Structure 1
């Protein structure tokens, strides 16, 4: 059993620096994709303040994301690359840090309580694995410190996971 903790009262850069070795330790027991995606989403959902959803949408053909492991309310099952914040991240390969999702063209409201969103596209060997999607009920929840810190955690996830399931024909 792991005891994980994060002090949300400290500066974000320090909080993320403290989370990185915890993430490495948590993911060291398995390289299985489903196990690691599940553990990672639980880590973020339980330790980052002010989230109402944390999870993954995985690449599926053609240009569609499908729901992966997550924490939070039930979610949209499929998202085309042409719609929503997750679709924009998958389509462009760029991190989407959205202060007000209701102002985002084509936003998909899986949970009407979500107000801001951070979506990080995940790549392994230049192939899109999917996206990490974080939602918050607060506007302007995410900033550059979150982008840097969560992106570093995602790199830990990518290097400690076997992605063979994602790329089977």
Structure 2
């Protein structure tokens, strides 16, 4: 459906996500396709995926990359902090982040964006990179917009 390098901006990527999810209503399929799309088109990343809220903690969801931590308590690590504070966490050097949870020793920077469904925190989009300071303010804005497209589809999914 897509070719590497075909999408040149977050606007194009977000439009591709919107078209990909249109007409589908399965949450797991939405998350799986969203993580695959990002993994395929973002350069210099080594893990892209979702953690969803289950029993008061984050539970591993669909992802692309090496095996990952299965559960993360709210308030722990970059993902748990993003949920606890309900804000984007853009970390230039994960080893300088207090309480960082190292699922993959090759990851050096990370961005985590909270995902909401019907007004509640549903989980997070987590992206790791094998280089420090991989994620810019432009990446943050583009990925927040990506999550907004995803949230629109999650609101009617089951």
Smaller-chain TM-score range? Answer: over 0.9
Distance 1:137 1:126, change over 3 A: same
Compute the displacement of 1:53 (Å).
0.3
Q: Residue 105 of structure 1 aligns to a residue in which SS? A: coil
Of residues 35, 38, 47, the one that matches 1:44 is: 38
Equivalent residue for 2:10, pick from 12, 16, 25:
16
Match of 1:129 in 2: 122
The question of whether the paired residues in 1 share the 8 Å contact of 2:115 and 2:147 is answered with yes
Per the normalisation by structure 2, the TM-score is 0.94
TM-score by length of 1: 0.88
Q: In 1, distance between residues paired with 2:47 and 2:155?
A: 24
**In the alignment, what sits opposite 1:106?**
99
Distance 1:86 1:160 in 2: 22
- Is structure 2 residue 88 aligned with structure 1 residue 89? no
Structure 2, unaligned runs of 5 or more:
none
- Unmatched tracts of structure 1, length 5 or more: 9-13
1:30 is matched with 24
> C-alpha distance in 2, partners of 1:159/1:18?
17
The alignment covers a number of residue pairs equal to 158
Q: What's the CA shift for 1:82?
A: 2.4
Instruction: Decide whether aligned partners of structure 1 residues 98 and 163 sit closer, same or farther in structure 2, where only a CA change above 3 A counts.
Output: farther
Greater shift after overlay, 16-25 or 77-86?
16-25
